[in-house]
Homo-oligomer: A and B are copies of this chain.
């Protein structure tokens, strides 16, 4: 794994190397008396984060609050925990920006729609896992997506997130500098998830590239937005080029997700189910 954070020193990386902790690449944090995770309604002084989250091993994130609640309830059942899980509590109930549920070692969190929205959540989630001293955490984004040349209902397990120009990169504006970050995801985890999915009947799944756009209508070639200046032919020609570049589905969060996971030592993966309104865990 290569770390691409602009300005991260070798010493910083060495401190974390190989201990399974979640990296925070910010020297200023050590100087702060208190860290308030504003959009999660949590903080280092108001909450005992190691006690609340220290045993977390899996983080599953998705756009919709209702779906992430349903996913937590599904996990509650799968893990054979006590009770029916119906009264599961939103840990972020004090804010309506995101919701968060914890079920055994699994955290289920919503992130809204688009790169900026998931990015705020990821900054605060990564700091949360860091403060809680979590180790060897795997993070999986699950969500709906538009499939490209694949059977409806297929699950695409992303190997690399690409931008609207099919490039495997995320352009992060830092102050007014543009920094390019890699968007490759964990190949072993992808293979593992694919293997799991093959054990489930009628569960078409594949590994492929996922394209991330900043717009649902004009950016993804939809003809039914309030604005549309291209023809059906132009749209199809673009989608064909995307397919030829290895893209198998389109969504709106994967590039920043991949970039931040790589930088902070989280084994990350996104899965998008095409044509379904509800998401499923693969294994």
- Which chain A residues have a beta carbon within 8 Å of chain B's beta carbons? 5-8, 24-29, 32, 35, 63-66, 96-97, 112-117, 119-120, 122-124, 126-127, 130, 164-166, 172-176, 213-219, 221, 223-230, 232, 234-235, 238, 241, 252, 260, 263-264
* CA distance in complex: A28, B252 (Å): 24
User: Closest residue of chain B to A213, judged by CB?
Assistant: B173
Copies of this chain present: 2
* Pairwise interchain contact A230-B119, C-beta atoms closer than 8 A: no
Q: Please tell me if the beta carbons of A214 and B32 are within 8 angstroms of each other in the complex.
A: no
| Additional pairs, 4, CB under 8 Å, beyond known A25-B227, A175-B221 | A26-B227, A29-B228, A64-B96, A117-B117
A7's partner among B28, B96, B229, B235 (CB-CB below 8 A) is B229
In the assembly, what is the distance between CA of A165 and CA of B215, in Å? Answer: 21
Smallest distance from the beta carbon of A243 to chain B beta carbons, Å?
A: 14
- Residue contact A224 to B116, C-beta cutoff 8 Å: no
Output the least CB separation between A218 and chain B (Å). Answer: 5
A216–B25 CB distance below 8 A: no
